[in-house]
Amino acid sequence: MDEAEEVLRYRTIAIVGLSRNPEKDSYKVAEFLKSKGYRIVPINPNAEDILGEKAYPSLRDLPENLKAELEVVNIFRRSEDVLPIVKEALEISKRYGNIKAIWMQEGVINIEAAEAAKKAGLIVIMNRCMMKERLKKEEMPEFKLDNSLIPSG
């Protein structure tokens, strides 16, 4: 199993820079991931909720239970804005130990951030699209997701 496949098997994904605009790639990718049963957590300071999920201004603003459950941070931001996001992710990772990977979307490249995440033991996928990678792996399990069962506390 390659690293991308391992990452795609985790279920709880924060999408940093997820747009409210259905025309944008971030929206399309998030919508696709949600349809496959992933639990998506929108990070966007200008939205209340996106795709029916409550949005948070930043990773740091996530409630404790989500910080503990977060497994993957998927980034749709300009390359030069990535480092502070990864630093926030690493803070959460240090405290809760549950983030497994940083995924920078196609066109998002930040070597310094990638190195920092790798040094902290995280898997880093860079300059690749999560939706395209997931589509290549149709044989993967689709998660049955029932949001009502996810504990909120």
Partner 1 sequence: MDELEDLKRKKMFELMKKAAEQEAKKNYPSKPVEVTDATFYDFISQYPAAVIDCWAPWCGPCRMISPVIEELSSDYAGKVVFGKLNVDENPTIASEYGIMSIPTLLFARKGEVVDRLIGAVPRQIIEAKIKQILI
Listed in sequence order, the DSSP H helices in the chain are 3-9, 25-35, 64-69, 82-96, 111-119, 130-135
Q: Which stretch binds partner 1 (CB under 8 A): 19-27, 50-58, 74-82, 136-144?
A: 136-144
Q: Which stretch binds partner 1 (CB under 8 A): 50-58, 80-88, 127-135, 144-152?
A: 144-152
Instruction: State the nearest-atom distance from the C-beta of 97 to partner 1, in Å.
Output: 5
Answer for the pair 131, 32: CB distance below 8 angstroms, yes or no. yes
Q: Determine which residue in the list 1, 48, 52, 138 makes contact with partner 1, applying CB under 8 A.
A: 1
Q: Positive or negative CA dihedral for 130, 38, 83, 3?
A: negative
**Interaction residues for partner 1, span 53-92 (CB under 8 A):** 68-71
Neighbour order of strands in the sheet with 123-125: 39-43, 12-16, 72-75, 101-104, 123-125
Nearer to partner 1 by Cβ, of 99 and 108: the residue is: 99
Instruction: State the nearest-atom distance from the C-beta of 29 to partner 1, in Å.
Output: 19
- 139 binding partner 1? (CB under 8 A): no
Token code pair at residue 100: 């497994």
3 state SS of 117: helix
Residues that bind partner 1 (CB under 8 A): 1, 5-6, 9-12, 39, 68-71, 96-98, 100, 123, 141, 143-146, 149-151
